[in-house]
Structure formats: structure tokens, C-alpha cells
Amino acid sequence: MSNHSASESLRKQSAFRAWLTAPVAASAFQSRVQQSYRSWLKFRMNTSAMFGMIIVVALVLIAIFAPYIAPYDIYSSDLANRLQPPSWQHYFGTDEIGRDIFSRLIFGSRITLYIVTLTAVIAAPIGLIIGTTAGYMGGWVDTALMRIVDIFLAFPSLVLALAFAAALGPGLENAVIAISLASWPPIARLARAETLTIRSSDYVAAIKLQGASTMRIILRHVVPMCIPSVVIRITLNMASIILTAAGLGFLGLGAQPPSPEWGAMLSSGREFMMTSWWLAAVPGCAILLSSLAFNLFGDGLRDVLDPRNG
């Protein structure tokens, strides 16, 4: 019975693999699955992209299971154990008031992913809609929208985020809004460039002849074609979003103490760098590793999703 089950399982695996690798797809669903499978094989061959993906997935899992991973409370202080070096009791040492740095770093990953995710959710649709509208409609609409984009792009994103954060006031939500306002212009410019190519295609001309409205063409036909490029761009931008969020936290304009945000931890630890190096080194390495992981992951996605690289 056991041998029969094993052989049946092998037969099903072989049939599924043959279905995946069939030279001609029998349905649209099979074609999409085969394309996804080929994309995964191409992505898997990129060692650096796989490394980045593993770190990103690990970061997400750490954020989800943070209460079960962190061994200590992140807010309770223990002045008797302040500034303890890394040990088996405190893997990354303790800070200036005796809080466990490892536990605070674990919970800090939640704040980092919260900022990155919310910024992407806000900035990507804004940039996508503005860019596709400007590229498709052209004329004075294109000129007006692109001049607004040029004004935003005239300032470095960090400086622009600092200005918005200072105007809105310190706080995590205000930091997200400030970073989002500084992140959408490059996405809009990319979407406009993609749209300028798409709008002259034959299928868009056919849709116009059928009487489709401008808004319907933009939302139903142009925007979906621009989404892969925008996904690649926003993934690559996540590294700069992490650095900007850490910079705002370092300057006191982002998440406020006693929140375990990595930039705020780095700010409080800089006073003890000469005597207790781990206070600044640990959150600094976390920022560096997460930024590098998103960059490598974004590069791999670009190689897979960009048709010009196929």
C-alpha cells in the first residue's frame, strides 16, 4: 500500500511537471502558470537576488512573530544591568537604561516594515495615476503635472522628507506621510515614460475606435501595463525609504521614544559609541542589512519582470 501511494505521488508530480513545461499551453491559465514558473526559475538563478529575498522574508517573519521571539519586555528598564555588552543573557547587550537591545531590534522590524509598506501603498498609486494621466493625455495636462513633478524632484528626497516632517510635526504617521510625499515623483516620471510608449500601440487605437472613454483606457488598459515597472521601482525605492525613515527617527522627527525604531535607537546610542559600541552598531547593521536586502531583491525582480531584459 505504501509503495502504491509513493508511486502514485511520483506519477502526479511527473504529470504536473510535464504540464508546467509543455511547449504549447492548452489554456490561458496554464500559460500564466508557466510564465510564473519560468520567472521563478530565472529569479532563482540570481544568487544575490535570492539572498535579498531570504533576508526580506526573514524580516517579515520576525516582525510577525516578534512577541514570541523577543525574550524581554522592550519598555521595562533595569538600571542594574545598563550598558551590558553582548552575552548569552542579552544577545546584543543592553542600552543606557538596561533594556534588551535584541528584543527592541526585533520589535523595531515591525515599525520598519510598517513604514515601508504604508509608504508603498500611498506613493505608488499616486505616482502611477499622475504619470499615466500625464503621459496619455499630453498637452497642457502633461505640462502642468510634469512641472509639479519637476518641483518635487528639484530637492533631494531626504531633504524634502525632512521639510515635510518638520512642517507636519514629529510622529510615526507624519513621517510616513512625509516620506510618501517625497517618494511619488520618480514613480510618476517612470509611469509617464511607459505610457508614452503604450498610447501609440495598436491595441490602444483599437480600444479608442470602440468608443472607450479616456479614463477607462487609462485605468483598464494603460495602468496594468505600467504596474510591473512601478513594482520594480517601488521595491528598489524601499532601501531609500528605510534610510529616510531611519534618518527622520535619528533626528527626532519620526517615531518617538521609547518606540524601538532603529533610527531612534541609533540616535540614543551615538552618545555611547566610544564606550558601548553595540548601542549604535546593532541598529546601524540592521538598517544596512535590510536596505541591502531590498536592493538585491529589487534588482532580481527587475531582471525577471522587465521585458527588455528577457
Domain boundaries, the chain: 1-45, 46-309
Q: Who's near 137: CB < 8 A, 6+ residues apart?
A: 214
Give the distance, in angstroms, between the CA of residue 100 and the centroid of all CA atoms in the same chain: 28
CB 111 within 8 A of CB 260: yes
pTM for the whole structure: 0.85
Paired residues of 177 in beta bridges: none
pLDDT, average across residues 118-133: 92
Burial class (CB in 10 A: 0-12, 13-18, 19+), 2: exposed
Spell out the long-range contacts of 161-168 with Cβ–Cβ below 8 A and sequence spacing 24 or more: 161/244, 161/247, 161/248, 162/247, 162/248, 162/251, 162/253, 165/248, 165/253, 165/254, 166/253
User: How many CA atoms, within 13 angstroms, populate the side-chain half-sphere of residue 229?
Assistant: 23
Q: From CA 77, how far away is CA 71, in angstroms rounded?
A: 14
CB 165 within 8 A of CB 248: yes
Q: From CA 207, how far away is CA 225, in angstroms rounded?
A: 15
pLDDT, average across residues 16-20: 71
Q: What is the pLDDT of residue 6?
A: 58
| Domain boundaries 46-309, corresponding CATH code | 1.10.3720.10
- CA-based torsion, 180, 181, 184, 186: positive or negative: negative
Q: From CA 123, how far away is CA 128, in angstroms rounded?
A: 8
Per residue in 246-281, pLDDT (tens digit) is: 988 888 888 888 888 898 888 888 888 888 888 889
Longest dimension (CA), the chain: 77
User: How many CA atoms, within 13 angstroms, populate the side-chain half-sphere of residue 107?
Assistant: 20
Per residue in 82-117, pLDDT (tens digit) is: 888 999 998 898 888 889 999 999 999 999 999 999
**SS3 assignment, position 94:** strand
